[in-house]
């Protein structure tokens, strides 16, 4: 196949944005989950301009790891070489891999792969090559093909990269990955002039082995678990400020109730639950006061009508409830499924004093229930949360989103 007859792939600049989107919503979460902790050394060594990255190859995870290790500016213009006979056996598979990673098809034999790589380099893009040509069976770095030496002789800077841990995460004979620590060490840019292609390939192979050994030894301190990170934040002053601002904004326009963050923070730091509840209560009362004041002006109607996830039925229900029961309806509001702001915008005729008292009582009880429930759950089942806080947090977010969707539909 000639260099011009390239299988379907996405290596143009137009695919940069969709690729970045897919990586952030699909590829990077997978990398973060399975490759944990991930240590990167030498990211600052990557220069601007086209570069040939060369790395050891023991796993299909290598490409994602190198891309994740690169600075964003370099990642967006880097195209990994992928075996044409493997990934493009089915054109749809090759096209998806290319869209996700920016890969271009690289035949194992002949000069077509090098021609494609050189074309990308000359157009200002970078390429990622695995000069062993295939994944290592036993983890030992094989000989580098001299093609990388030919590219180096043409003046392109070469950056060797050592990867450690990828083989344990996704072995050659495995279908599914497993969790494990990984490390990526990025070397210094190299330029070669007089050496032979074979000599350059050998020198790069030796340096890559050295970097791989350095990667295995320089993992550094273990990255804190999700539980530890959330607990540290929950114990900080920033958590109180964040909960306060969240609750205040939700009382005016934001559609997600502060309970959403209050519960997991209380689970992670039970001793902090009461202060977090206090911050949420103070924020929601002050935000409610803003909505109350706006409701007495010409701005109230348009603001309420355009508030996210607020329906006409909610507005009508809150208005009629206030007209019938007065501010006391705010005691049951937290359990009605109708956002607090819908009542606050329509409560101005009832007087600010009763409104604030009933708001504090109604909202305070709800926040206290969630905060203390989180503290109890976090205390009783602490070992479970310590081991699986990330997945449980994801399930909680999914369940919350589903519940919110059903509530909005029921009031639609």
pLDDT tens-place string over residues 86-121: 999 999 999 999 999 999 999 988 899 999 999 999
Cα–Cα distance between 56 and 76 in angstroms, integer? 21
361 — phi, psi (to 5°)? -70, -50
pLDDT score for 222: 52
Q: Which of 253, 209, 264 is nearest to 390 (CA)?
A: 264
Q: Beta-carbon neighbour count of residue 335 at 10 Å? A: 11
> To the nearest whole number, what is the mean pLDDT of the chain?
91
Cα–Cα distance between 333 and 336 in angstroms, integer? 5
Nearest-10 Cα torsion for 204, 209, 212, 214: -100
Residue pLDDT tens, the chain, 412 long:
344 467 888 888 889 899 999 999 899 989 988 998 899 999 999 999 999 999 999 999 999 999 999 999 999 999 999 999 999 999 999 999 999 999 999 998 889 999 999 999 999 999 999 999 999 988 889 999 999 999 999 989 999 999 999 999 999 888 889 888 999 999 999 999 778 999 999 999 999 999 998 888 865 445 567 888 899 899 999 999 999 999 999 999 999 999 999 999 999 999 999 999 999 999 999 999 999 999 989 888 898 888 899 999 999 999 999 999 888 999 998 889 899 999 999 987 768 899 999 999 999 999 999 999 999 999 998 888 888 898 999 999 999 999 999 998 998 7
78 — phi, psi (to 5°)? -100, 135
Task: Taking each helix axis as running N to C, give the angle between helix 237-250 and helix 226-234, from 0 to 180 degrees, rounded to the nearest 10.
Answer: 80
% of the chain at pLDDT higher than 70? 97
Q: Which of 378, 409, 412, 383 is nearest to 396 (CA)?
A: 378
pLDDT score for 1: 36
Beta-carbon contacts of 207 under 8 Å, excluding residues fewer than 6 positions away, are: 160, 187, 190
- CB contact at 8 A, 208 and 161: yes
Is the CATH code 3.30.360.10 the one for domain 13-217?
no
Q: Which of 357, 289, 346 is nearest to 317 (CA)?
A: 346
pTM above 0.85, yes or no: no
What is the number of H-type helices and E-type strands within the chain? 19, 7
Cis peptide leading into 316, omega within 30 of 0?
no
159 DSSP β-pair partners:
53
Q: Beta-carbon neighbour count of residue 385 at 10 Å? A: 21
Q: How far is CA 187 from CA 41, 161, 363, in A?
A: 9, 6, 56
Beta-carbon contacts of 132 under 8 Å, excluding residues fewer than 6 positions away, are: 56, 57, 141, 142, 143, 144, 145
pLDDT score for 18: 92
- CB contact at 8 A, 303 and 253: yes
Nearest-10 Cα torsion for 286, 291, 297, 303: 150
Residue in this structure with the two tokens 């708001």, named with its chain if needed: 359
The b/e string for 362-378 (b: 16+ C-beta within 10 A; e otherwise) is bbbebbbebbebbbebb
- CB contact at 8 A, 388 and 309: no
pLDDT score for 122: 94
10 Å CB burial of residue 74 (0-12, 13-18, 19+) is: buried
- CB contact at 8 A, 408 and 301: no
pLDDT score for 223: 57
Q: Which of 182, 161, 172, 171 is nearest to 75 (CA)?
A: 161
Cα–Cα distance between 80 and 94 in angstroms, integer? 12
- Using alpha carbons only, give the angle 162, 69, 81 rounded to the nearest 5 degrees: 70
pLDDT score for 3: 44
- CB contact at 8 A, 192 and 158: yes
Classify 375 as helix, strand or coil: helix
What are the boundaries of each domain within the chain?
Answer: 13-217, 226-410
10 Å CB burial of residue 25 (0-12, 13-18, 19+) is: exposed
């Amino acid at each position: 196949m000639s260099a011009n007859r390239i299988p379907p792939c996405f290596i143009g600049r137009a695919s940069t944005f969709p690729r970045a989107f897919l990586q952030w919503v699909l590829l990077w979460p997978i990398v973060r989950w399975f490759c944990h902790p991930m240590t990167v050394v030498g990211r600052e060594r990557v220069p601007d301009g086209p570069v040939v990255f060369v790395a050891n190859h023991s796993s299909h995870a290598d490409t994602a790891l190198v891309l994740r290790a690169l600075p964003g500016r370099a990642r967006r213009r880097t195209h990994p070489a992928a075996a044409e006979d493997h990934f493009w056996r089915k054109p749809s598979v090759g096209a998806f891999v290319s869209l996700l990673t920016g890969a271009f098809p690289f035949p194992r034999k002949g000069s077509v792969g090098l021609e494609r790589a050189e074309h990308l380099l000359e157009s200002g893009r970078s390429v990622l090559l695995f000069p062993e040509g295939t994944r290592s069976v036993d983890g030992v770095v094989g000989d580098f093909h001299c093609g990388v030496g030919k590219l180096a002789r043409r003046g392109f800077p070469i950056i060797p990269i050592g990867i450690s841990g990828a083989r344990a995460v996704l072995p050659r004979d495995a279908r599914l990955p497993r969790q494990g620590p990984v490390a990526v060490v990025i070397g210094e840019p190299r330029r070669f002039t007089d050496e032979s292609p074979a000599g350059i390939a050998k020198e790069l192979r030796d340096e890559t082995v050295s970097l791989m050994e350095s990667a295995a030894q320089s993992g550094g301190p273990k990255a804190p678990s999700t539980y530890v990170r959330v607990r540290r934040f929950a114990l900080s002053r920033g958590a109180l400020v964040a909960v306060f601002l969240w609750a205040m904004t939700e009382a005016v326009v934001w559609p997600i109730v502060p309970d959403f963050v209050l519960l997991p923070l209380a689970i992670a730091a039970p001793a902090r639950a009461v202060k977090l509840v206090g911050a949420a209560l103070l924020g929601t009362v002050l935000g409610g006061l803003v909505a109350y004041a706006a409701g007495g002006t010409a701005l109230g109607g348009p603001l309420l009508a355009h508030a996210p996830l607020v329906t006409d039925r909610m507005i009508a229900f809150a208005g009629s409830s206030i007209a019938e029961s007065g501010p006391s309806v705010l005691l049951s509001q937290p359990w009605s499924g109708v956002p607090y702001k819908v009542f606050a915008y329509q409560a101005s005729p009832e007087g600010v004093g009763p409104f604030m008292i009933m708001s504090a009582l109604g909202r305070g009880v709800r926040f206290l229930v969630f905060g203390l429930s989180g503290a109890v759950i976090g205390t009783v089942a602490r070992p479970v949360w310590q081991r699986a806080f990330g997945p449980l947090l994801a399930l909680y977010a999914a369940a919350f989103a589903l519940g919110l969707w059903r509530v909005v539909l029921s009031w639609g």
